[in-house]
């Protein structure tokens, strides 16, 4: 991890988001103790921005992580066989040296170390009284909550790509190295893998610690969409518990931010609710009541050409991905009148998403999580926890479904069994979150195979069963080389 060490120590301390480097003095430094990054509130805020900047990278939540979550699955076919734009992930031929395998791991761990450097420094300076008169207790708590949540998102993301899902062995399989303290020298490279269960425990420890510390509402829609607040944390916990198949916890956490009946809203903190228009979620200013967390971009701060979501889904890109129209997949399952289908664009006989339309300047926000997911998480968990289809679960599913397909509502009688409900909700998720990186998570958390794919000129891909080594990514070659305690996936 020497390459990651160089990135994290230099940039995590000296760089921050956008133009925020103006808060730091451009003087050479030789050690962490030399840096005066906690001298003023502006410098502390710049470091908070810096944590988001790392997560916002096109190599991570700024675009590519979401792309990996879709192209590894079954709903898309590539225009191009360019390995730079994830063709190896689409056809499951990734190896330890594959670009995305190495780059995503490196960026996520760089983000983690940026967070750890900040949290360590913040605590030390606060405990020593050096922040008296600079920030308040409430500000300290909020900054900590943001760092802890970003770190939790990072570790959850690593588990989805590089580790067997929790349902295989109840988390007993190898996870990733748990780095929860700042790396300050290359001598700290060597660290063995924790188990999947241990990593999930750390994720939940971070989120549970962060929740009571977090601000309830920034009072600004854009801030509420792009910065962590209390309801962001609760929402993300529903995703974590869903992937652990802890249905009771999904139900209890979602109850904090989902009202007991339609129209479903969060009744405290930021007032989450479904946006009336599906297409409106993905239009400027990208800050609807449904947008729980998104990565922002501007014309002067973009994810990079081959990183941004428009590059992967716009019909204008020569390297984009179009909808697989074969039977049984999301496109075929959509009714012709469904707004999610009518919003697709037909070009050269291929259907493309229009969610991310700014191909020219790449300013579309990259969604990390939406309220629609929380409602569907809750609906599924209610039925799985109780073993029976309930009216509330159907109402939650219908809230998402009928927004785009008003005549497609279900009743409890629509489902002969709980199994039929699970099939319907998995299909609804596949449709609703096209291009948002959810599909692979859904397949793996349920221990389902990656279906075979007929990509036409791009070739065919055989089914990848959960027992296959190709079900998850390999550990990057750089990590295996530089971390003597690291072990490969088997």
* pLDDT attached to residue 134: 97
Helical (H) or strand (E) element with 426: helix 418-432
Distances from the Cα of 253 to the Cαs of 144, 208, 263, in angstroms?
21, 11, 18
Nearest to 405 by CA among 313, 333, 356, 314: 333
* pLDDT attached to residue 187: 76
* pLDDT attached to residue 184: 77
- Phi, psi torsion values for 482, nearest 5 degrees: -100, -15
Burial (CB count <10 Å: 0-12, 13-18, 19+), residue 306:
middle
Mean per-residue pLDDT, 214-231: 98
Q: Are 63 and 307 in contact (CB under 8 A)?
A: yes
Mean per-residue pLDDT, 395-412: 98
pTM, whole model, 2 decimals? 0.93
| Residue range 309-347, pLDDT digits in tens | 999 999 999 999 999 999 999 999 999 999 999 999 999
- Phi, psi torsion values for 291, nearest 5 degrees: -80, 100
- Domain 1-214+452-490 and domain 247-296+307-356+366-448 have a common topology: yes
The answer on pLDDT for 136 being more than 50 is yes
Residue-range domain boundaries for the chain = 1-214+452-490, 247-296+307-356+366-448
Percent of the chain clearing pLDDT 70 (strictly above):
93
Nearest-5° angle of CA 76, CA 332, CA 306? 20
The answer on pLDDT for 294 being more than 60 is yes
CA–CA distance, 220 with 207 (Å, rounded to integer)? 23
Of the options 1.10.3470.10, 3.40.50.300, 3.40.50.720, 1.25.40.390, the CATH number for the domain spanning 247-296+307-356+366-448 = 1.25.40.390
The answer on pLDDT for 374 being more than 60 is yes
* pLDDT attached to residue 327: 96
The answer on pLDDT for 33 being more than 70 is no
The answer on pLDDT for 2 being more than 90 is no
What residues contact residue 338 under an 8 Å CB cut-off, 6+ apart? 404, 405, 408, 431
Q: How many CB atoms sit inside 10 A of residue 263's CB?
A: 10
CA–CA distance, 353 with 22 (Å, rounded to integer)? 38
Mean per-residue pLDDT, 125-138: 97
Of the options 3.40.50.150, 3.40.50.10420, 1.10.3720.10, 1.25.40.390, the CATH number for the domain spanning 1-214+452-490 = 1.25.40.390
For the chain, how far is it from start to end, CA to CA, in angstroms? 21
In sequence order, what E strands does 143-277 have?
none
- Please report which residue ranges of 17-98 form alpha helices under DSSP H: 41-55, 64-71, 87-90
**3-class state of residue 351 by DSSP:** strand
The answer on pLDDT for 3 being more than 70 is no
The answer on pLDDT for 349 being more than 80 is yes
CA–CA distance, 396 with 421 (Å, rounded to integer)? 12
The answer on pLDDT for 34 being more than 90 is no
Helical (H) or strand (E) element with 321: strand 321-323
- Phi, psi torsion values for 450, nearest 5 degrees: -75, 120
CA–CA distance, 105 with 194 (Å, rounded to integer)? 16
């Amino acid at each position: 991890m020497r390459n990651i060490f160089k990135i994290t120590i230099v940039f995590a301390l000296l760089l921050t988001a956008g133009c925020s480097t103006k808060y730091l003095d451009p003087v050479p430094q030789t050690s962490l103790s030399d840096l005066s990054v906690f001298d003023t509130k502006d410098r502390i805020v710049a470091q908070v921005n810096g944590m988001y900047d790392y997560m916002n990278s096109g190599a991570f939540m700024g675009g590519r992580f979401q792309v990996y979550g879709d192209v590894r699955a079954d709903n898309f076919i590539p225009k191009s066989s360019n390995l730079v734009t994830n063709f190896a992930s689409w056809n499951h031929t990734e190896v330890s040296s594959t670009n995305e395998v190495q780059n995503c791991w490196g960026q996520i761990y760089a983000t983690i170390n940026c967070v750890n450097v900040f949290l360590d420094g913040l605590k030390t300076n606060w405990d020593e009284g050096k922040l008296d008169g600079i920030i308040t207790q409430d500000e300290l708590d909020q900054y900590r909550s943001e760092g802890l949540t970003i770190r939790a998102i990072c570790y959850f993301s690593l588990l989805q790509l590089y580790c067997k899902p929790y349902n295989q062995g109840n988390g007993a399989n190898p996870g990733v190295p748990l780095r929860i303290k700042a790396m300050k020298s290359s001598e700290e490279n060597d660290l063995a893998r924790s188990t999947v269960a241990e990593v999930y425990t750390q994720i939940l420890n971070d989120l549970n610690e962060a929740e009571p510390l977090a601000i309830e509402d920034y009072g600004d829609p854009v801030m509420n969409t792009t910065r962590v607040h209390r309801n962001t944390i609760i929402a993300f916990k529903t995703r974590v518990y869903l992937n652990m198949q802890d249905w009771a916890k999904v139900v209890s956490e979602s109850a904090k931010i989902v009202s007991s009946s339609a129209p479903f809203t969060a009744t405290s903190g930021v007032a989450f609710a479904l946006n009336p228009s599906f297409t409106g979620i993905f239009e400027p200013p990208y800050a609807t009541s449904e947008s729980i967390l998104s990565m922002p971009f501007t014309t002067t701060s973009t994810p990079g050409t081959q990183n941004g979501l428009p590059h992967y889904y716009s019909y204008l890109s020569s390297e984009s991905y179009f909808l697989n129209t074969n039977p049984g997949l999301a496109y075929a399952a959509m009714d012709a009148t469904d707004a999610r289908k009518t919003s697709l664009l037909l070009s050269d006989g291929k259907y493309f998403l229009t969610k991310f339309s700014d191909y020219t300047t790449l300013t579309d926000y990259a969604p990390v999580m939406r309220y629609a997911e929380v409602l569907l998480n809750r609906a599924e968990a209610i039925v799985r926890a109780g073993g029976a289809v309930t009216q509330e679960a159907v109402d939650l599913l219908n809230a998402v479904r009928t927004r785009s397909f008003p005549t497609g509502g279900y009743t409890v009688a629509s489902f002969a069994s709980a199994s039929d409900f699970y099939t319907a909700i998995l299909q609804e998720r596949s449709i609703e979150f096209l291009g948002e990186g959810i599909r692979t998570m859904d397949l793996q958390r349920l221990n389902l195979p990656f279906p075979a794919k007929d990509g036409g000129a791009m070739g065919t891909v055989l089914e990848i069963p959960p027992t296959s080594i190709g079900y998850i990514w390999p550990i990057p070659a750089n990590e295996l080389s530089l971390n003597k305690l690291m072990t490969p996936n088997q």
